[in-house]
Amino acid sequence: MFLLDTHTLIWFLDNDSRLPPSTKEQIESAESVFVSIVSLWEIAIKINIGKLTLKTDFQAIEQNLVTQDISILPIDITAIKVYLDLPLHHRDPFDRIIIAQSIDLDLTIVSGDLQFDAYPVTRLWNI
């Protein structure tokens, strides 16, 4: 079961060449793929402040998630408790929430971000 990091989600939905082909294939063939609601929030914030432009509009993301059979993962109290206990190896609060959800639900994070490796999570990124 995979939990996509925000950049992975964007690259996957945009068919961006920065997503390694073998990683893309593993996402497509996975039994369960999740994206945190915090990733959608991060995308919306970055669009709003002009730091991100998508190939498609934000409203199309939800339909793309349905089409790709990617489930939206809410943030629950257990993940928040895990978040509170995380060491500050990674300062990005969005990534720290994704890490907490991965730990809480035992999900493999799909990300090129090496900072995830400082935490007790499994990270997938085939180059």
CATH code of the domain containing 115: 3.40.50.1010
Average pLDDT over residues 21-29: 97
Per-residue pLDDT tens digits for 92-127 = 999 999 999 999 999 999 999 999 999 999 999 986
Q: Report the alpha-carbon distance of residue 123 to residue 104 in Å, rounded.
A: 15
Range of the domain at 67: 2-124
Domains identified in the chain, total number: 1
Query: What's this model's pTM, rounded to 2 decimal places?
Result: 0.94
Token match 């991060």: residue?
42
Contact 70, 41 (CB under 8 A): no
